[in-house]
Structure formats: C-alpha cells, structure tokens
C-alpha cells in the first residue's frame, strides 16, 4: 500500500535528520581514498562516445544537495566544535566542473560537454605551475564563474576537509589571484541575520536562484548528500515550481525510482515497450494521487540523453509539503535559527571529536612515523584528516 502524500512527506522529513547523522558518522569512521580521483578529471574523456555515459561520469563528480524538508539545528555561531550551518545565495546559471591542468582551464557542463577552454591564473590552468591541477564546483553566469566549492587546489585534495575549512581556504586563495572571472560566493552564518542577508538584504552581482545550506562539518560528497540542502520560494528564484513533476529512472524490475532508490511506481511491460523505455533511461513523469490516497508516477516523456541522473525523493517531499501541508517558509527557517544549538548536541559533537582524535592518535602511534607534511601553493599542508572543526572562519558578509 502506498503512502498518503502527506504521510510520505512527513516520512521523508523525519528521515532527513537521520540521514544527516549517518552521513556524519560515516565521515568520522572512514577516510576515502581519492588520491587519483581529481587526476581522472584532468584526463581527456572524449573517448566516451556515448553521450549518456559521459554525462553519468561528470554528474557523479559533483555534490547533489537534497531539498530541505526538515530544518536542522542551524545556528552554530561561535561554537567550539564547528557546529551549525552556512547559507549561500545560489546564483542563477549553469553548473559546471572547472578543471585546471596541463596549462589550460576547461569548463564542462554536468553532461560532460566542453563549454570553454582558456588560460587562467588557477594553479595548473595557465603558464605557471602547469604540473599541478585544480578542480572547482562552479556556476557560470554572465561569463563569470561563481565558485560553489573546491575539490582540489594545486594538487592538494580537500574532499575530506570540512565545509568550514574549504570555504575559508577557497575565499583566501581566490582573493590572492584577483581574477574577475572567478568569484567566491558569499556565505553567511545560519543565524537570523545571516539568513536574511542571504535571502534578500545583501546586494549581489547576480540573480538569486534559491538558498543552499551547508553543514559546516560536511566533507565534499560525490553524489546525493543530506549535508547540503537547497531551498526555494517565490522570492528567491524566478522559476519557482512546485508542480508534482519529477525525472525518474527506469530501473530493473520495470519500476520508476528516484536518485536515492525510492520506487514510485511500476511500469507495465507492454507500456514500457510501446514507449521504448529501457533500463537506465531517465523519464519525465507527473506524480499524481491514486484512489487510495497514495501517489504514482505517470510517464510524460523521455529526458535527453544528456540528463544523467533522476531527481531525489526529497524533491518530491518538498513539492508534496507545499501542496498538502503548506510550504516550508522563510519564517519557519528563521524561527529554527533563533535558538542556538542545544547543549546536548554540543556535548555529542564534543564526544565525537574526542573519539576521532583518539582514533587518529592510535593510528599514528601504530604507524610509528612522522606525520606527512608538504608545501604546496604557499601553504603548509597536512593530510585532510587535520581539517576537522575547531578553527572558526566567519562567513563573508557583503
């Protein structure tokens, strides 16, 4: 039996906080091996003749935020363990992966198409430091690259560094270069003042397209993550749409499913054959209510082969909430940000940090060697595990 739309939205909202805690726990317990990951992005992938294969490759290289359906503990200003969230006014534009290596800088869309190749002041992207590479997550608008995040800078990978560290370092490095084509996005503390600045008060050189919320402790995730959330209303985007329309994947067993694997409905084999749908295709579907009060997906049309991934269940939950219980408003977000993070959450974060510190100490003792250090791009770097919450980097206020 399918969930009633309202119950479905509540269930996704309730599980979003659980997913956040599980994601943080995975971060603490496992360091990813991404040594060669950024280098692969520097390789020429034009050998991938199939457009869909190329799109899947590049789509999987970036972080995909969940839609905000459950407001977390946002206000972590001045907490000693890096708690809380940042909010960023997202620019309207085309999201790209910017790769600087071998003396050139290449902007690729998430479908893998080369949008532009040029020389830049980024490490690896011009005549200087050709032997290094830099990878940035950007949005291109009016010939300017607004940098959302950094994955690698001058061959130093920061996937496993916290957002608090990445944002501070990225802003510092871009300011040093003074290149008008690359701009770090403003980020604000998630207290009421910071949220209002991101929402409407701060003057921006671009058009807003929603707000992005980043958990300060979050690492750079490849794929869907609950530690980054997107939220929109009619005041923050020109294209506010809460129609129950989703892009879903045709999966094994003849079902439509979301990016996070939630099955929305089955597809009749005969109908699938008539519409030439095969496993792996992405289809645009309209989500409708059935007679039992649940929801099902009604096929509309196939998406372009350049569309690499379906939407997440959180997008459906966001739309269902808007259409059944009422929208998640900016007032509700501001209300949640009024109260600083509770003492219980602070104590839990302190215990987790202490446990991680002890684990790292034991690992270092067993290794019996000096901690590896290296000098890159004028910064004394240690392995990314050092980039845990602790140092306070206040968000940029325009």
Q: Give the model confidence (pLDDT) of 152-194 as tens digits.
A: 999 999 999 999 999 999 999 999 987 889 999 999 999 999 9
Query: Mean of the pLDDT values across residues 74-96?
Result: 88
Give the residue-averaged pLDDT of 36-43: 68
Residue 16, pLDDT above cutoff 90: no
Of residues 394 and 282, the one with the higher pLDDT is: 282
Q: Is residue 49 part of a domain?
A: yes
Whether pLDDT at 295 is above 90: no
User: Domain containing 134 — which CATH number?
Assistant: 3.30.470.30
| pLDDT tens profile 320-357 | 888 888 899 999 999 999 988 765 555 555 565 555 55
Q: What is the per-residue pLDDT for 303?
A: 92
Tokens describing residue 5 = 């739309």
| pLDDT, position 44 | 57
Distances (CA, A) of 37 to 9, 155, 180, 222: 36, 11, 28, 11
Percent residues over pLDDT 70 in the chain: 75
Q: What is the dihedral of CA 12, 17, 23, 28, to 10 degrees?
A: -170
| Burial state string for 21-53 with b = 16 or more CB within 10 A and e = fewer than 16 | eebbeebeeeebebeebbeebbeeeeeeeeebe
pLDDT at 349: 56
* pTM for the structure as a whole: 0.81
Interval 41-53 mean pLDDT: 60
- pLDDT at residue 117, rounded to an integer: 94
d(CA 265, CA 25): 32
Residues 6+ apart with CB under 8 A from 249: 256, 257, 258, 259, 280, 281, 282, 283, 309, 310
* Selected residue with higher pLDDT from 47 and 147: 147
Buried b (16+ CB within 10 A) or exposed e, 257-281: bbbbebebbebeeeebeeeebeeeb
User: Could you give the number of structural domains in the chain?
Assistant: 1
Mean pLDDT of 6-30: 74
In a domain, 392, yes or no: no
Q: What is the pLDDT of residues 304-323, one digit of tens each?
A: 888 889 999 999 999 888 88
| Residue 17 placed within a domain | yes
pLDDT tens for residues 209-256? Answer: 999 999 999 999 999 999 999 999 999 999 887 778 999 999 998 899
Q: Would you say residue 300 lies in a domain? A: yes
pLDDT at 119: 93
Give the closest residue to 316 by CA, choosing from 251, 268, 265: 265
Q: Is 380 a member of any domain?
A: no
Whether pLDDT at 363 is above 90: no
Q: Output the CA–CA distances (angstroms, integers) from residue 343 to 14, 76, 350, 357, in the order listed.
A: 22, 11, 10, 21
Q: Is residue 239 exposed (0-12), middle (13-18) or buried (19+ Cβ within 10 Å)?
A: exposed
Range of 198's domain? 5-29+41-339
Is 354 within the bounds of a domain? Answer: no
What's the rounded mean pLDDT across residues 251-277?
89
Q: Percentage of the chain with pLDDT > 90?
A: 47
Number of neighbouring beta carbons within 10 Å of residue 115 = 12
CA 196 to chain centre: 22
Segment 108-122, tens digit of pLDDT: 999 888 999 999 999
- Residue 379 clears pLDDT 80, i.e. is over it: no
**Per-residue pLDDT band at 130 (split at 50, 70, 90):** confident
Q: Where are the alpha helices (DSSP H) in 294-342?
A: 313-324, 330-338
pLDDT at 139 over 90: yes
Give pLDDT, residue 339: 81
Q: How far apart are CA 133 and CA 122, in angstroms?
A: 9
Please report whether residue 346 resides in a domain.
Answer: no
The overall average pLDDT reported for the chain is 80
């Amino acid at each position: 039996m399918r969930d009633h739309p309202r119950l479905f939205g509540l269930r996704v909202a309730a599980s979003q906080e659980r997913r956040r805690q599980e994601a943080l726990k995975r971060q603490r317990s496992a360091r990813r091996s991404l040594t060669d990951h950024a280098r692969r992005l520097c390789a020429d992938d034009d050998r991938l003749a199939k457009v869909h294969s190329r799109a899947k490759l590049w789509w999987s290289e970036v972080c995909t935020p969940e839609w905000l359906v459950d407001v977390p503990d946002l206000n972590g200003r001045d907490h000693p363990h890096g708690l809380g969230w940042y909010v960023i006014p997202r620019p309207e534009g085309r999201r790209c992966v910017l790769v600087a290596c071998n003396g050139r800088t290449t902007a690729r869309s998430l479908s893998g198409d080369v949008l532009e190749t040029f020389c830049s002041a980024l490490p690896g992207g011009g005549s200087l430091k050709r032997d290094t590479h830099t990878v940035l997550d950007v949005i291109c608008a009016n010939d300017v690259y607004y940098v959302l995040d950094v994955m690698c800078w001058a061959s130093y990978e920061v996937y496993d560094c916290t957002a608090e560290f990445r944002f501070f370092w990225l802003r510092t490095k871009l300011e040093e270069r003074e290149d008008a084509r690359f701009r770090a996005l403003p980020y604000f503390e998630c207290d009421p003042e910071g949220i209002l600045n991101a929402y409407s008060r701060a003057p921006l050189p671009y058009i807003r397209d929603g707000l992005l919320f980043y958990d300060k402790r979050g690492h750079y995730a490849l794929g869907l993550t609950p530690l980054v959330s997107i939220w929109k209303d009619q005041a923050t985007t020109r294209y506010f749409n809460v129609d129950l329309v989703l892009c879903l994947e045709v999966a094994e067993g003849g079902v439509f499913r979301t990016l996070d694997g939630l099955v929305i409905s089955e597809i009749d084999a005969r109908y699938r054959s008539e519409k030439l749908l095969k496993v792996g295709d992405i289809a645009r579907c309209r989500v409708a209510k059935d007679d039992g009060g649940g929801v099902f997906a009604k096929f509309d049309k196939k998406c372009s082969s350049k569309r690499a991934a379906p939407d997440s269940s959180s997008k459906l939950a966001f739309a269902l909430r808007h259409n059944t219980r009422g929208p998640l408003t900016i007032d509700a977000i501001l209300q949640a940000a009024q109260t600083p993070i509770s003492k219980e959450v602070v104590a839990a974060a302190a215990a987790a940090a202490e446990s991680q510190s002890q684990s790292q100490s034991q690992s270092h003792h067993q290794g019996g060697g000096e901690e590896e250090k290296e000098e890159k791009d004028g910064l004394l770097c240690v392995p990314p595990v050092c980039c845990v919450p602790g140092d306070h980097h206040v968000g940029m206020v325009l």
